[in-house]
Amino acid sequence: MNQITPASIGLSREDLPNSYIGRSVPRPNAPKLVQGRATYTDDVVLPRMLHTAFLRSPCAHARIGAIETAAAMAVPGVVRVFTGADIAKVCDPWVATLDHLKGMKSAPQYPLPLHRATWQGEPIVAVLAETRAAAEDGVAALAVTFEPLPAQTDMESALAPGAVVIHPELGDNLVFTRTAETGDVAAAFAAAHKVVEARFVTGRHTGVTLEPRSIIADYNRADGTLTVHHSTQAPHMMQGVFAKQLRMAEGDVRVICKDVGGSFGIKVHVYPDEVAVAAMARIMGRPVKFIADRFEAFASDIHARDHRIHGRLAVDAEGRVLAFDVDDLTGIGPYSVYPRTSAIEGNQVVNLCGGPYDFRNYRCTTTVVLQNKAPTCQYRAVGHPIATAVTEGLMDLAAEALGMDPIEIRRRNLIRDDAYPYTSPAGMRFEGLSHHASLDKLLQMVPVARIRADQAEARSRGVYRGLGIAAFIELTNPSPFMYGIGGARISAQDGCTVRMDPDGSIVASSGVTEQGQGTEAILAQIVAHGVGVAVERVKIITGDTQTTPYGGGTWACRGAGIGGEAALQSAIALKQQLLDVAGAMLQAAPDSLDIVLGRIVDKAGGAERMTLHELGRIVYFRGDTLPRELQRELVQTRHFITKEYPFAFTNGIQASWVEVDPATGMVKLLEHWCVEDCGRIVNPMLVDEQVRGGIVQGIGGALYEHCIYDAQGNLLTTTLADYLVPMSAEMPEMHVGHVETPTRESLLGAKGAGEAGTAGAPGAIMNAINDALRPLGARVHEQPFTPERILRALGTIA
């Protein structure tokens, strides 16, 4: 579509009999200066940017009737109103399934629906105007008829007879189910000394990024290209999505993504309103801008963690784990989210339950169903905090049933540090973990004896405090076995181009992106180390599909492990190239030279021979003085992808010390500890703060954050006054420790670090609360652990 051809610029084939090369071909619609302003050849002034606002469904499920737009078009500043049918003329629907998730199904989704609204907050009609205020006034003037339909909001009845089938063409509301089973689970439970079980609930919540979702799309009719400035984690993935859905060539789409104000997985998905923005820009030939406000964010950003789990654990008389049996149910909204799909979180629960422990009998089922609520998908530490809470909650119940210390039961069951490579009952392959070393490190940091003494003394005064432990594994550095194997155009590899400029400075372009986690800082460190220059001499460029090597972007803690390794290999290759050139100039063997802080030195004695600035001057401006056969580009590109293991697993363990007020149900966090093994640590401060930030988000899910719906599917938590997030006043003192087990798949040896805090914090807090409540005979397993739920567990309220 819209390619420049002879016919499109007024030439016949006879005018260009052989080739464009060597002929003067006029540029279509070439701009010229008219009275000091840039115009096109028809003297039309360059288009001004338009702003869009969306009318969103007030119903969880409704048939869309008449859409009256006349009043909206009469609003000053309104330019056009778009319906689903208008957008569908230039944009195809998508279906979010992955081929390797056998039997998975979902319905086609359009940017704006054609006939039915399927969740409250779904974008229905778009208004384009000269300002955002005018666009919102236009939305207020729209008259749209909605015919309410019965809504299926309860996941537990979604497959029952009589349930509302959200998409009748699918036959039912089942999206995906998978069971992993190894060993003889029934026999293990029959032979067990103790069997414990519980029902766990994790509350639906969302990312609450500092910067809301935002996009500016600009379609250039002159050359048929689309440029999208996008707050996203994966610019190359979105380049492919926009091209495919808008029927364009991928090379005609450019996605630019500079510093992003937080993402946490929220911005790695395809949103219908954002695709609509790109489609409207293409139709209008003008830039179109959309920024979600906070109300829209709560109703339209993806949610996550909406699970109901029944878990059982069998142990012998010595506290050895014999078997896990877990049944997980999750509701994902009315559509699976494109292109990563909404089945991955449940699939991860199957992969990760029981992960830190050495046992042989395992059964875990996940069932993924549709419901009339906002779609759910991947959010920081996908599935990890759910699997960890279930696993660690059951381990504490087993310790209590046996009269065993919770630390001791873990020590007896954690996979030995010399047992690797190891394959878990769920089929996960571990290259090398450090559970016992991490536990030992934690016990060096946590004053357990003092805490237990304080706990006993406080109980004598009617003050209830508890200590909770949670071990975890974390999936990082994913290979194509995550998405590519399922047919998704989501790259597991990443690339980096490193060049030296004439002044001796280094520029590195990387496919990973900066989301506030410090990616550019660690890439600068890695490149500086690899080349041999000061870190302040390195400039990092990220987030532009036109200028950076193709890559997967930022997700699943892959920035250091994948992007960092590509940067290191590129830097080392550039260093070797620089030494080859220096050797020719200095008449010395390249392997007798080294680069130290921007200077070429003798490797043996360290004597300076020349600076990189001087080398750059000669290569770029006096190349005539160099041997003709000498390679002198001073730029290298390398890509990296993991090959031997599908994922680079990390591990760790957390502890939480809390106080629970039985009169009010309030939980006070006193202190929190985390030990993580993320492989080679590149920047200790960044890793520590990533872990702390992850703990904070884990605290949010454990105690505060909850997207609450009523029975009709109306979202009740639509502002930060209703949806609570952890604030500084609630934060405990957090201590972070490390064990380093580098991966052997890369020279750098780095794994991911960004999700560890989130993975383990809810389980540790849950166990700490239950340790505090144990003398009172109460127990909670439903997140968030609100005062109401704690008081209900205590029997204070019905």
Q: Kindly report, residue by residue over 558-614, the tens digit of the pLDDT.
A: 999 999 999 999 999 999 999 999 999 999 999 999 999 999 999 999 999 999 999
All residues at 6 or more sequence positions from 5 whose CB lies less than 8 Å from its CB, including other chains: none
Closest CA to 277 of 257, 262, 292: 292
Place 40 in a pLDDT band, splitting at 50, 70 and 90.
Answer: very low
The reported pLDDT for the residue numbered 612 is 98
Average pLDDT of the chain to the nearest whole number = 94
The C-alpha torsion from 733 through 407 and 703 to 261, rounded to 10°, is: 60
Pairwise CA distance, residues 567 & 535, whole Å: 14
Region for residue 410 given its phi and psi (left: phi exceeds 0; alpha: psi -120 to 50; beta: otherwise)? alpha
- Beta-strand pair 225-230/648-660: unpaired
Q: What is the CB neighbour count within 10 angstroms for residue 381? A: 34
Structure-token pair, residue 752: 């991911």
Average pLDDT in the 740-761 region?
97
More confident residue, 485 or 30: 485
Pairwise CA distance, residues 97 & 659, whole Å: 44
Place 431 in a pLDDT band, splitting at 50, 70 and 90.
Answer: very high
Average pLDDT in the 214-222 region?
97
Residue 719 has pLDDT above 80, yes or no: yes
Structure-token pair, residue 725: 């997030």
User: Does 7-38+493-640 match 41-149+208-300 in CATH topology?
Assistant: no
CATH topology of domain 7-38+493-640: Aldehyde Oxidoreductase; domain 4 (3.30.365)
Average pLDDT in the 742-746 region?
97
pLDDT tens digits for range 105-152 = 999 999 999 999 999 999 999 999 999 999 999 999 999 999 999 999
The reported pLDDT for the residue numbered 46 is 53
Question: What is Dmax (Cα atoms) for the chain?
Answer: 99
CB environment 690-715: b (16+ within 10 A), e (fewer) = bbbbbbbbbbbbbbbbbbebeeebbb
> What proportion of the chain, given as a percentage, has pLDDT over 90?
93
**Domain spans of the chain?**
7-38+493-640, 41-149+208-300, 382-476+645-793
Strands annotated E in 135-283: 143-148, 174-182, 194-202, 205-206, 214-220, 225-230, 253-256
Kindly report which listed range (7-21, 66-80, 207-221, 715-729) carries the lowest average pLDDT score: 7-21
Three-state SS string over 93-142 comes to CECCCCCCCCCCCCCCECCCCCCEECCCCCEEEEEEECCHHHHHHHHHHC
Q: Are 125 and 54 in contact (CB under 8 A)?
A: yes
Residue 14 has pLDDT above 80, yes or no: no
Q: Is the dihedral of CA 582, 584, 585, 588 positive or negative?
A: positive
The reported pLDDT for the residue numbered 17 is 38
Pairwise CA distance, residues 369 & 359, whole Å: 30
Distances (CA, A) of 141 to 77, 134, 702: 13, 10, 41
**Helix H or strand E encompassing 80:** strand 78-82
The reported pLDDT for the residue numbered 13 is 41
Average pLDDT in the 618-643 region?
94
CATH class of the structural domain 41-149+208-300? alpha beta
The reported pLDDT for the residue numbered 35 is 39
pLDDT tens digits for range 317-363 = 999 999 999 999 999 999 999 999 999 999 999 999 999 999 999 99
Rg for the chain, CA atoms, rounded: 29
Pairwise CA distance, residues 55 & 62, whole Å: 14
All residues at 6 or more sequence positions from 735 whose CB lies less than 8 Å from its CB, including other chains: 445, 671, 672, 673, 674
Residue 16 has pLDDT above 80, yes or no: no
Residue 44 has pLDDT above 80, yes or no: no
All residues at 6 or more sequence positions from 636 whose CB lies less than 8 Å from its CB, including other chains: 497, 498, 499, 570, 571, 573, 574, 577
Place 798 in a pLDDT band, splitting at 50, 70 and 90.
Answer: confident
pLDDT tens digits for range 155-210 = 999 999 999 999 999 999 999 999 999 999 999 999 999 999 999 999 999 999 99
CATH class of the structural domain 382-476+645-793? alpha beta
Place 295 in a pLDDT band, splitting at 50, 70 and 90.
Answer: very high
Average pLDDT in the 703-712 region?
98
Neighbouring-strand partners of residue 368: 176, 330
